[in-house]
């Protein structure tokens, strides 16, 4: 009920709504409304209450609140269960545990701070308290394991489109999953899959967005390569609004993918990519390749034109120097 109450009051954007109107709309007693208001106040919401006019929402808490996120979402599945934690080693571990216990698709784990946030290949992810979005989402796609990279690309497209809309910044995707502004990383995606006989059981999509970090939140050596939305655009952002925009976008693309396959996602990715049509060095498990990435294969692999004209599909690699630094 507190989710519906919040939705009602925030839709009125600071206007008063009478206690009677609220109790009618939510079909509960006026005492029940008052009790919910008290509960929300304890969580950091500020309301003005007038005996004549009713209630109006003045301010939402600065920390992330599952009810508030859910009250604003338009999704059917993604983010319909949210676990919010203060400080954890990594949201990935919690999401794995919940998924193994049967948590439904769309379950979201959010933390204000990560003490051991992780990137790919054993790298770390800087996750200071209250400044960014550090979250892991449980997905249960009907997909064979070799196609899992398509989901990484799909997530990058959803993240890039939603962050562009909210910030107006020129954000591009560096293959396979980094989001960059002017060559500096603002967001990273880490997909971890669990499979049984080549079929995916579940995927944990870990997403880190450096939202309101300032220069001294990063170790010095990272400042060359990393930037936050706030540092890039000069203003701070409401993290709840960014999460809502991203989950709404992701669910739409995820449904499109289920209905029409990877082709429409591939076109969207190619349009947002900053990795295509410029020479790059790719360090693959099989060795180093130099060539020009020209697009994506149906599988999600990167197509690279080599010096002799051959086009090679690359499934996993570190993309180096020529397009932008890591």
By CB under 6 A, how many residues form the interface with ligand BTX? 28
Per the annotation, binding residues are 114, 118-120, 185
Distance CA 188, CA 202 (A): 20
Contact status: 190 vs ligand BTX (CB under 6 A): yes
Q: Which of 2, 71, 90, 162 binds ligand BTX (CB under 6 A)?
A: 90
Contacts of 246 (CB under 8 A, 6+ apart): 158, 159, 162, 163, 207
Give me 105's structure tokens: 């698709």
- Rule CB under 6 A: choose which of 137, 143, 226, 250 binds ligand BTX: 226
Q: Is 210 in the site for ligand BTX (CB under 6 A)?
A: yes
Environment class of residue 235 by beta-carbon count within 10 Å: exposed (0-12), middle (13-18) or buried (19+)? exposed
Binding-site residue ranges for biotin: 114, 118-120, 185
In the complex, the smallest distance separating the C-beta of residue 168 from ligand BTX, rounded to whole angstroms, is: 20
Candidates 58-66, 75-83, 128-136, 258-266: pick the segment binding ligand BTX (CB under 6 A).
128-136
* Least distance from ligand BTX to the Cβ atom of residue 204, Å: 8
DSSP 27: T
Helix (H) or strand (E) holding 36: helix 30-42
Identity of the residue, 8 or 205, whose beta carbon is nearer to ligand BTX in the bound complex: 205
123 CB-contact burial (10 Å; exposed 0-12 / middle 13-18 / buried 19+)? exposed
Residue 294 CB neighbour total at 10 angstroms: 13
Rg (CA), the chain: 22
* Contact predicate 112/63, CB 8 Å: yes
- List the x/- string, 91-110, binding to ligand BTX by CB under 6 A: xx------------------
| Nearer CB in complex with ligand BTX: 119/320 | 119
CB of 67 to ligand BTX, least distance (A): 21
Tell me, what DSSP letter sits at residue 129? T
Which positions lie near ligand BTX, rule CB under 6 A? 90-92, 114, 117-121, 123, 125-126, 134-136, 178, 185, 188-190, 206-208, 210, 222, 225-226, 326
């Amino acid at each position: 009920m507190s989710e519906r109450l919040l939705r009602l009051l925030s839709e009125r954007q600071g206007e008063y709504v009478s206690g009677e109107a609220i109790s009618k709309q939510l079909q509960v007693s006026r005492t029940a409304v008052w009790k919910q208001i008290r509960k929300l106040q304890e969580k950091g919401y500020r309301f003005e209450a007038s005996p004549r006019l009713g209630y109006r929402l003045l301010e939402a808490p600065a920390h992330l609140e599952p009810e508030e996120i859910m009250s604003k979402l338009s999704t059917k599945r993604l983010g319909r269960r949210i676990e919010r934690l203060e400080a954890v080693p990594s949201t990935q571990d919690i999401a794995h545990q919940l998924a193994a216990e049967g948590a439904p698709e769309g379950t979201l784990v959010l933390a204000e701070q990560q003490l051991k946030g992780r990137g790919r290949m054993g790298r770390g992810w800087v996750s200071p308290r209250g400044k960014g979005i550090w979250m892991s989402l449980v997905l249960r796609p009907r997909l064979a394991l070799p196609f899992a990279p398509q989901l990484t690309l799909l997530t990058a497209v959803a993240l890039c489109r939603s962050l562009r809309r909210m910030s107006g910044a020129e954000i591009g995707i560096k293959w396979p999953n980094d989001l960059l502004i002017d060559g500096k990383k603002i967001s990273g995606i880490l997909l971890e899959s669990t499979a049984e006989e080549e079929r995916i059981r579940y995927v944990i999509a870990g997403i880190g967005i450096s939202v309101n970090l300032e220069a001294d939140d990063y170790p010095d050596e990272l400042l060359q390569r990393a930037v936050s939305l706030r540092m890039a655009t000069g203003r701070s952002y409401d993290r709840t609004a960014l999460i809502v925009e991203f989950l709404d976008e992701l669910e739409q693309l995820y449904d499109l993918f289920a209905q029409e396959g990877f082709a429409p996602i591939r076109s969207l990715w190619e349009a947002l990519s900053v990795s295509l049509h410029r020479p790059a060095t790719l360090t693959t498990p099989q060795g180093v390749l130099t060539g020009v990435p020209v697009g994506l294969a149906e599988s999600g692999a990167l197509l690279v034109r080599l010096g002799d004209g051959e086009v090679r599909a690359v499934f996993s690699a570190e993309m180096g120097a020529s397009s932008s630094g890591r």
